[in-house]
Amino acid sequence: MFNAIVINKDEQGYRAGLTAVDEQQLPAGDVTVKVLASTLNYKDALAISGKSPVVRTFPMVPGIDLVGEVLHSDSVRFQSGDKVLLNGFGVGENHWGGLAEKARLNSAWLLPLPAAFTPEQAMAIGTAGYTAMLSILALQKHGITAEHGEILVTGANGGVGSYAVRLLSKLGYTVVACTGRPNESDYLKQLGAAEILPREQLSAAGKPLQKERWAGVIDCVGSHTLANACASTRYGGAVAACGLAQGMDFPVTVAPFILRGVTLYGIDSVMRPLADRSKAWQHLSELLQPADVDQIASVISLEQVVATATRLLQGDIRGRVIVKI
């Protein structure tokens, strides 16, 4: 038996809780791991609360991220004792995930744990940090350098936002952090934000074209915020859209794209090929020091996951949460 957060949906309703599970119930896969650490992402909180249809088969163990130690492997890529990293690939959505003491996974989803990080540090970064890095790599590929001007990060106090601010600032960019929590301005400035923009300035419907300001944007919230960000991006600039915390809608016109040549990049971390993941984690290994990670993350236990998921959806959690298993 092992302990796991299990989500059920039946005649008693939708519910999640810490439960002892028989190992025989683990799903198919060629690598079985002892989970060393996991984390709580926005998507995990949606899955646990049932507020959004993230999970479609039940029972389900949530947790889109994990670091594990291999107990058994039928894959030539991994041997028992190896430490492996998993982000996404539908794990925690349609395959049992990381908020558990054990997991059985497909080796094609796994990367070796980067040597620069402990299991907890890798989970402090998790899908959030990896997605922030993918977003930055998209802006860099577009040719945006620090000299081009200000980069806007929306949802800045969240996991993706916090890492976007820290990483951009480490790379020498001037970062403007947009947040609904001005009381966390000192935290954002410590991460490297040059200026704090109140959320209200971007979250309501705005004009199709606005004063050109941003060389680039990393948007974690979607909806009017993303539309306004596109409308105020400078000629030839780029916007990386990775989140939907405000909403999935996108009430924009074509004006920024056809009159200012703005490019919108969609960032998906879930099904990203292993080569892109390795590249992103290599950059994270080079850029982040333990102090950066400590600044952004707090630690909880498996017992605290369900309550913390509620707080996360209320926008009450700053940065990232490591789940120490």
Chain contacts with ligand NDP (rule: CB under 6 A)? 41-43, 127-128, 131, 155-161, 179-181, 199, 203, 220-221, 225, 242-246, 267-270, 312, 315
Least distance to ligand NDP, CB of residue 12, Å: 28
Least distance to ligand NDP, CB of residue 34, Å: 25
Least distance to ligand NDP, CB of residue 270, Å: 5
Residue showing tokens 């998209």? 138
Distance CA 31, CA 209 (A): 51
CA distances from 45 to 207, 306, 314 (A): 33, 8, 10
Least distance to ligand NDP, CB of residue 296, Å: 10
Q: Containing H/E element for 297?
A: strand 297-301
- Torsion angle, CA of 13/17/23/27, rounded to 10 degrees? 50
Q: Which is nearer to ligand NDP, 32 or 131 (CB)?
A: 131
Least distance to ligand NDP, CB of residue 305, Å: 15
Query: Which pair of tokens denotes residue 247?
Result: 């909403």
Q: Which is nearer to ligand NDP, 23 or 249 (CB)?
A: 249
Residue 36, SS3 per DSSP: strand
Q: Which is nearer to ligand NDP, 158 or 216 (CB)?
A: 158
Q: Which is nearer to ligand NDP, 70 or 122 (CB)?
A: 122
Least distance to ligand NDP, CB of residue 135, Å: 8
Q: Which is nearer to ligand NDP, 37 or 128 (CB)?
A: 128
Q: Which is nearer to ligand NDP, 71 or 270 (CB)?
A: 270
Q: What is the number of the residue whose Cβ is closest to ligand NDP? A: 158
Q: Let me know how many helices (H) and strands (E) the chain has, helices first.
A: 10, 15
Distance CA 279, CA 265 (A): 18
CA distances from 288 to 137, 203, 281, 324 (A): 15, 31, 10, 20
Distance CA 60, CA 5 (A): 8
DSSP alpha helix (H) spans, 142-254: 159-170, 185-191, 200-203, 223-231
Least distance to ligand NDP, CB of residue 235, Å: 26
Q: Specify whether the CB–CB gap between 64 and 43 falls below 8 A.
A: yes
Q: Give bridge partners of residue 151 from the DSSP assignment.
A: 175, 216
Q: Which is nearer to ligand NDP, 5 or 160 (CB)?
A: 160
Least distance to ligand NDP, CB of residue 211, Å: 21
Q: Which is nearer to ligand NDP, 160 or 191 (CB)?
A: 160
